[in-house]
Every structure is written in C-alpha cells, then in structure tokens.
C-alpha cells in the first residue's frame, strides 16, 4: 500500500510474534496407529451423529484429538479432515482461529492467568509475572516435569471475581500472587487445590474429552450457579425496591 505522500509502505502480515504459526512440532505424530485410530473413530462416530451435517462436528472433534495428543497435531488434523469430509485447509483454518485449540504440547494442567483489563489492574499482571518467575517458564511454555503450561488469557467472564486464574478452564477466583504460587505448587505436588466453584479439577486431556461432548463423569454436587459477587447488584436492587422501567408498547408499523 502507499502512504499519505505516495511512498510505499510495507505491512508484514502474519501471526502475533509470540504465537507459533503452524501445527508442525518436532516429534508430533503424523498419523495415528490403527488401535488409536479405531478408538477415536468410536468416539467420533458418537459425536458426529448429533449433528444434521457432519461438518458441524468439527469443533468437538478438534477437542477429541486434542484429548489424545494434548494439542493439534498433523495426525489429529488429518483425522478430523477424513471423518468430516473437509479439506486440510478448512480444518486448520478453524483450529488456528480459536485459542482453546493448542499448537504445542500441553502440560497436565493448563494454567491461564487472566490479564485482560479488569483482572490486570486488580493484580492479574503481577500474578502472571510472578508465576513466570516462580515456575521459570514464559508464556505458553511448560515446566520440565510436564505438569504446568502457563498462559496469559483473555477475559473469562468472571470479572466480578478478579483477578481470576483458570486451570483447565476451572475457576480460581480472587487470586493473589501468593495464592497463585500455592496453586501451581499444589498442581506440581500431585495434590491439586480444588477450584473455587464449579466441577472438580481434572487433567487437560480429560477436560478436552468433556469439551468434545463425551460423558462428564465428575460428581455434580450443585457446585454451579452464580456467586455472591455476581448477584450483589441484584440483591441491592431488591433491597431498594428497584424495578426495570416498563417496556413502552411499540407503535404499530405504518404501511405505505
């Protein structure tokens, strides 16, 4: 393109510099052995049967192959492509769009520190910097023992509990640098702290199977639901007798 005075301006297009831009990792499986393939086909068949068009099953199938490899590998992408009758380009275009699909090996626990605006100012930036130092790894890197992959993440719609840390997408609310350090230490020790709310924690691969839509065997003890911080505004509104303004009746549309 050209600038305001006609000079040529070169704009480099491509992924963010810190993000790997392809699904090729040394040692990644290129194809599944027959036994793995047969096992995955059983799961894939169950998932695909839920959709009127099989191509609609791509997102859960990507989670399924991620549960096998911990990230999207050439073998996993090819498996999705074959099962759904899609081209490799179609599968990798979708897989590279969503950040929940990983492009490199993932530890047993994916620790995501929210560094979006509210969490950042409430301490998320400090927690992320502290965990990098404590674990000796950078963003999107995994500890040598393979237990923790650290990642900074965007808003997880839990701003009322900021700053929030997610482990395998389960919530750890109102964190501090100290509590986050204790959390990752517990993960590495094999005795993980329980999430603040929601279902019990499981490994990244188990989480990926649940996200693929396969049965979630975790006990449901009514852990879900909105927390006190989320409902604070509603409580005050009720105490004050507030009501939403009535919706005005809409004028009938005039026809010309």
Residues that bind ligand FES (CB under 6 A): 114, 116-119, 155-156, 158-159, 162, 164
C-alpha distances in angstroms, 225 versus 160, 196, 198, 222, 256?
14, 12, 8, 8, 50
CB of 161 to ligand FES, least distance (A): 7
Q: Helices 58-69 and 88-95 meet at what angle, rounded to 10?
A: 80
Which residue, 100 or 118, is less far from ligand FES as judged by CB? 118
* Binding site members for [2Fe-2S] cluster: 114, 119, 155, 159
Contact 116, 122 (CB under 8 A): no
CB of 127 to ligand FES, least distance (A): 11
Contact 91, 81 (CB under 8 A): yes
CB of 100 to ligand FES, least distance (A): 15
Using the structure block, give the residue that is written with the tokens 């979708």: 94
Contact 111, 165 (CB under 8 A): yes
Which residue, 162 or 187, is less far from ligand FES as judged by CB? 162
Which residue, 62 or 114, is less far from ligand FES as judged by CB? 114
CB of 233 to ligand FES, least distance (A): 16
What's the DSSP call for residue 120? I
CB of 120 to ligand FES, least distance (A): 7
Using the structure block, give the residue that is written with the tokens 């959709």: 51
User: Residue 116 has which token pair?
Assistant: 């979006």
What's the DSSP call for residue 123? I
Which residue, 116 or 151, is less far from ligand FES as judged by CB? 116
d(CA 99, CA 190): 27
Beta pairing class for 165-167 and 141-142: unpaired
* Binding site members: 114, 119, 155, 159
Which residue, 90 or 173, is less far from ligand FES as judged by CB? 173
């Amino acid at each position: 393109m050209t600038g305001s005075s006609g000079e040529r301006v070169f704009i480099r297009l491509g992924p963010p510099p810190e993000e790997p831009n392809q699904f090729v990792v040394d040692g990644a499986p290129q194809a599944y052995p027959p036994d793995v393939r047969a096992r995955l086909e059983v799961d894939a068949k169950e998932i695909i049967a839920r959709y009127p068009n099989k191509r609609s099953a791509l997102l859960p199938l990507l989670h399924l192959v991620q549960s096998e490899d911990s990230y999207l590998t050439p073998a996993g992408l090819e498996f999705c492509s074959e099962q759904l009758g899609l081209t490799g380009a179609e599968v990798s275009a979708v897989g590279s769009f969503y950040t929940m699909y990983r492009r490199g090996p993932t530890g047993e626990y994916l620790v995501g520190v929210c560094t979006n605006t509210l969490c950042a100012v409430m301490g998320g930036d400090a927690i992320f910097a502290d965990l990098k130092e404590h674990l000796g790894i950078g963003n999107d890197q995994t500890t040598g023992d393979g237990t923790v992959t650290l990642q900074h993440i965007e808003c997880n719609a839990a701003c009322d509990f900021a700053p929030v840390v997610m482990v395998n997408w389960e919530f750890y609310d109102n964190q501090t640098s100290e509590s986050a350090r204790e959390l990752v230490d517990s993960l590495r020790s094999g005795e993980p702290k329980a999430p603040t709310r929601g279902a019990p924690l499981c490994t990244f691969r188990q989480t990926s199977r649940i996200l693929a839509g396969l049965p979630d065997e975790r006990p449901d003890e009514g852990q879900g639901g909105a927390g006190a911080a989320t409902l604070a505004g509603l409580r005050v509104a009720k105490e004050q007798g507030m009501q939403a303004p009535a919706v005005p009746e809409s004028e009938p549309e005039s026809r010309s």
